[in-house]
Amino acid sequence: MTINEAQDEIIEEFAFFPEWMEKYEYIIQLAKDLPLIDGQYKTEANIIKGCQSRVWLHPEFKDGKIFFTADSDALITKGLVAMVVKVLSGQTPKEIADAEIYFIDEIGLRTHLSPTRSNGLLSMLKQMKLYAVAYQAQSLQN
Catalytic site residues?
Answer: 51
Q: How many residues bind another protein (CB under 8 A)?
A: 16
Residue 113 interacting with another protein (CB under 8 A): no
Residue 20 interacting with another protein (CB under 8 A): yes
DSSP letters along 49-71, please? --SSS-EEEEEEEETTEEEEEEE
Residue 115 interacting with another protein (CB under 8 A): no
List of E strands, the chain: 47-48, 55-62, 65-72
| Min CB(40)–another protein separation in Å | 22
Residue 16 interacting with another protein (CB under 8 A): no
Give CA separation, 81 vs 71, 122, 136, 141, in Å: 7, 10, 23, 31
Binding another protein (rule: CB under 8 A), the pick from 13, 17, 54, 101 is 54
